[in-house]
Structure 1
Amino acid sequence: MSESMTDFARAVQDILTAGQRMDSRGWVPATAGNISRRLADGRIAITRSGGHKGFLQAADVITVDENGKPHRAGDKPSAETLLHCQIYQQDPTAGAVLHGHSVASTVLSMVEKSPALHLSDYEVLKVFEGQTTHETTVPVPLFDNDQDIARLATVVAPAFGAMPAGYIIRGHGVYVWGKDMPTALARLEGLEFLLACALERRKLGV
């Protein structure tokens, strides 16, 4: 990547690459999901509402402020932009946020009645911050879906600081973040692998 590229241009490239990767794995069907990256000046680059994440173009990425307000009149960010903004506000180290709608996250979150999924004894757990061994259990909080995103954000807020693998909205999808886009993608891939394993184990009855 050219050193002459602006921070926004690099963010756009990061978002387009992430969208292609998530689409290739079946995690953003139709127009589902959204992707963002924090810019050095505090703005947030985020996908425009309604676009297929596997076919994003540069024009499909816009910027919003820390409260989710678009900087340019007429730009329409994702309906869930406030959840991205919340993550950046709650975690100053977060540089990228990914939201996907995989089959595993959707199904497991609908059948699991407890407030969290618990992932134990998998080697891949070490992809999450603070985990150094497979001999551990990582909770993934589950929150009921709500079309009122501001209200949903208030429900999610108390869990920050205790969800290294991100969280899941029931029947909807996952939210994962990291210090930069490669870290966020690695955590998303790790979580989706573990959720797929959990779903397979339930099918096998073990």
Structure 2
Amino acid sequence: MRTAIPSAIVSSALIEAGRWIDAQGWCPATGGNFSARLSDDQALVTASGRHKGRLTDEDLLTVDLDGQPLESKLKPSAETLLHTRLYQLNSAIGAVLHTHSVASTVLSRLERDDWLTLCGYEMQKSLSGNQSHEATIQLAVFDNTQDMQALAEQLALRWQQAPLNWGFLVRGHGLYAWGHDVNEARRHLEGLEFLFACELEMRRLRP
């Protein structure tokens, strides 16, 4: 059983992450959504339509792992279903950060396979479990859809084939990155964004 984390601590971490992510330009307008697990069956999530660089405690609400609000009139994003499905699939996941950077959005459209494969980059070592640039890492790529229930089911089916690590891409949409807590999710997000930018430049330079 996971030890419950005080919501004030989780809220502060998500608010700080939002300001940092906004400063990178990875969540323009009101795009993206963040969450962090509070306990085995609850998570704190950003409300729909809130600017991620200006989050306050009033922009966050608690949901169960079906994505339903608990004692709140705020509306969670429809994409909350992907966050909560990740928490259901892996009890070690403690935070999920969904962003809309240019690099992740463009690269996800260029990649036609179901997996984005990366190899040879030193920054791969920013991802937990990777010790060498020589390793080959893969991120799942899903087609975009407005049906989040359907996308959550696709995520679960892909996970049954092989558990996913660090994050996944949605074509023309962006990145979902996660970690044991908000800090690790931030590190994975930053490392993946660097890798995406490098891969885009490599593809541009190839004859």
TM-score (norm 2): 0.93
Distance 1:53 1:40 in 2: 23
The percent identity for this pair of structures is 47
2:201 is aligned to: 200
1:118 is aligned to: 117
Distance 2:132 2:118 in 1: 13
* Equivalence map 1:20-59=2 (5 Å): 20-40=19-39, 42-59=41-58
1:178 is aligned to: 179
1:109 is aligned to: 108
**Pairwise CA RMSD:** 1.4
Distance 2:17 2:34 in 1: 8
2:75 is aligned to: 76
The Cα of 1:165 is off from its aligned counterpart by 3.0
Is the CA contact 1:139–1:165 (under 8 Å) kept in the aligned structure 2? no
Distance 2:22 2:48 in 1: 16
SS of the residue aligned with 2:138?
strand
1:169 is aligned to: 170
Is the CA contact 1:36–1:44 (under 8 Å) kept in the aligned structure 2? yes
Larger mean CA deviation between 38-47 and 175-184 belongs to 38-47
Q: Deviations over 1:41-84 (max 9, x none)?
A: 63100000000100111100110011100012522001100000
Larger mean CA deviation between 50-59 and 38-47 belongs to 38-47
Is the CA contact 2:48–2:75 (under 8 Å) kept in the aligned structure 1? yes
How many residues of Structure 1 are paired with residues of Structure 2 in the alignment?
A: 201
Runs of 4+ in structure 1 deviating by more than 6 angstroms, as ranges, are none
The Cα of 1:128 is off from its aligned counterpart by 1.9
SS of the residue aligned with 1:98?
strand
Structure 1: gaps of 5 or more residues: 1-5
TM-score (norm 1): 0.93
The Cα of 1:108 is off from its aligned counterpart by 0.9
Structure 2: gaps of 5 or more residues: none
Distance 1:58 1:188 in 2: 23
1:87 is aligned to: 86
1:98 is aligned to: 97
Distance 2:95 2:166 in 1: 14
The Cα of 1:112 is off from its aligned counterpart by 1.5
| 2:141 is the counterpart of 1:148 | no
Distance 1:50 1:151 in 2: 22
